[in-house]
Structure 1
Amino acid sequence: MKNIILFVALIAVTSWSTAQDIYGEATYFSKASIDKSFLEGNRDISPEQRKRIEENLKKASEKTFILKFNRSESLWTEEVALATPGQSGGWGNFMGSSMGGDKYKDMTSNTFTEQRDMMGKTFLIKDDLPQLDWQITGETRQIGNYTAIKATAVKKNDALDMSAFRRRRDDNKKKEEDGETKLTDMIEKDENTTVTAWFTPQIPVQHGPAEYGGLPGLILELNANNTTMLCTKIVLNPEDRSDIEPATKGEEIKLEAYNATFQQKMEEMSQRFRGRSRGRN
């Protein structure tokens, strides 16, 4: 452990001169493993429907992000592909804009700003960054041209972190009085997750993908729950630089309050849907 700490310190010192005036753009490929067990043995789904569902799940689980950063600030944005003509965003578009947006992080104040849209209303989430107790291990590996060091931490899962949910394996599901199965009886959520990060002191900034950071070097790979985010390209100090600024439009709100509002709206939508279903029956 002493050797790895000395290694980190030496690289950080030799790289510090460039960190005083550093700007970079890192591309990350994010992939989530999705439980497809609900497709197995389902006679109501034709082979064509199953293929189409699997293709849509694959598209939803694979995304590309760009992290623009300087010494103290970063901006995390998703590269969104153009939709096929005549194809609406629908439910997936609603969930994406409600549960994630461009995330600005200020490592000096340990705060973040994120703009999200929910049912036609724009919110501006301003809150503190999660503080993780990173444990730097002695394990190293090569990621591209950089030496990466492994670090782990335990994180409390966000109330709306979909990667923390999974389908229940037991068949004994509780029923509502009207005989319907609750969504909460079909899925379960882990309260905490172990996060594994690989960072490089060769780029001495405390940034990383999504809400993660706080290590003595840029995070090149991160694994949390069922999602892996891997840096596939880094451009340092290009001539053309983008501004790294937070969004400013929207009703300011804390993350916990936003999550509570979202869950309330989802419950209202669920009740209206059940009401219409009963009416048709």
Structure 2
Amino acid sequence: MKKVLILALLLISTVSFAQTISGKAYYQSKTTVDTDQFGGGEMSEEMKKQIMERMKSFLEKTYILTFSGSESIYKEQEKLEAGSGFGGMGAMMGSFSAGAQYKNLKTNQILEEREFFGKKFLINDTITNLEWEVGKESKQIGQYLAIKATAVKKIDPNDFEMARPRGRRGERGRNRDAEEDSEKVADTTQTESEDPFDQIEIPKQVIVTAWFTPQIPVANGPGEYAGLPGLILELNVERTTILCSKITLNTKETESIEAPNKGEEVTRAEYNKIIKEKMEEMREQFRGRGGRGGGRGRFGGF
């Protein structure tokens, strides 16, 4: 209870002082992949390397968080074609295209541009308020002292953007012997059907680890994340790490931030439902072809 009270007081002072701060934070995002999952462990190292190179465009990205007072917008700096030549899984990964993410900490609103199979959506929802637990651990990130905070984030069962390869559940090696036995059977099935949906799962919850700096009293961070008494400089979610590489501050003039307004407006729950229905339709089409020819673009649009 004492920790919650201290965090609340810090947030109040942070929000008040943040009204005079604006600037930009540059982030590098990198997602790691367990290459041992490719081909049931029988794929050559050269083939794994080729696959990782093809996946690089959606595993490594650069973003800019522009913040001013209680408002911010988070955009990808450079966009490349993702999933090229990576079969059904690549087609699925490449079909999700994230646009600008706008947050208003004062009204607790988040607006996110999304494109799915050529159709544009505008998700209008509230910011997910995680129950952060601030610890005593700290480290230096660049010239800033960063403090560690963790939270548990519950995942919508229809949130396919949080899908991960099936078979590895968090800690490496957990139940590995049992998994290896089951994989021998699963590999045969996947070879015959090559159904990409059999290769993924959606976790019920994930651990979020953030490193924030009180030296920049802005209760903001990359993407949807916020709510700490200082700018988030590093974020770890599952196999994805987002690290701030550069910060420019301006305490004299505020920068104008425009909220995105393109696309069909939906709530996050409505968007996830649309994705689920489309995924089910794609799977039925895939099964109807006997699991063959799952190349990108054959699933059809809206």
Q: Give the match for residue 136 of structure 1.
A: 134
Q: Aligned in 2, Cα 1:251/1:41: closer, same or farther, shift over 3 Å?
A: closer
Q: Give the match for residue 21 of structure 1.
A: 20
Give the match's secondary structure for 1:102: strand
TM-score (normalizing by structure 2): 0.75
- Give the counterpart letter for 2:268 in structure 1: L
Structure 1 residue 181 displacement after superposition: 7.4
Q: Give the match for residue 57 of structure 1.
A: 55
Q: Distance in 2 between matches of 1:20 and 1:181?
A: 53
Q: Aligned in 2, Cα 1:146/1:28: closer, same or farther, shift over 3 Å?
A: same
Q: Aligned in 2, Cα 1:257/1:41: closer, same or farther, shift over 3 Å?
A: closer
Q: Aligned in 2, Cα 1:279/1:215: closer, same or farther, shift over 3 Å?
A: closer
Structure 1 residue 245 displacement after superposition: 1.6
Q: Give the match for residue 274 of structure 2.
A: 261
Q: Give the match for residue 192 of structure 1.
A: 205
**Equivalent residues of 2:63, 2:75 under 8 A apart:** yes
- Give the counterpart letter for 2:103 in structure 1: K
TM-score (normalizing by structure 1): 0.80
Structure 2 unaligned segments of length 5 or more: list them. 168-178, 294-302
- Give the counterpart letter for 2:245 in structure 1: T
Q: Give the match for residue 116 of structure 1.
A: 114
- Give the counterpart letter for 2:34 in structure 1: D
Deviations 1:75-94 (A, max 9, x none): 011112566xxx89x98687
Structure 1 residue 137 displacement after superposition: 0.8
**Equivalent residues of 1:11, 1:201 under 8 A apart:** no
Mapped pair 1:150 → 2:130:
no
Deviations 1:136-183 (A, max 9, x none): 11112111111111111111124435455232243254999xx85765
Q: Aligned in 2, Cα 1:52/1:240: closer, same or farther, shift over 3 Å?
A: farther
Q: Distance in 2 between matches of 1:69 and 1:239?
A: 13
Mapped pair 1:219 → 2:217:
no
Structure 1 runs of 4+ with >6 Å offset? 5-13, 15-18, 238-241
Identity rate, percent = 44
- Give the counterpart letter for 1:156 in structure 2: K
Structure 1 residue 236 displacement after superposition: 0.5
Q: Aligned in 2, Cα 1:186/1:227: closer, same or farther, shift over 3 Å?
A: same
**Equivalent residues of 2:194, 2:292 under 8 A apart:** no
Give the match's secondary structure for 1:214: coil
**How many aligned residue pairs are there?**
273
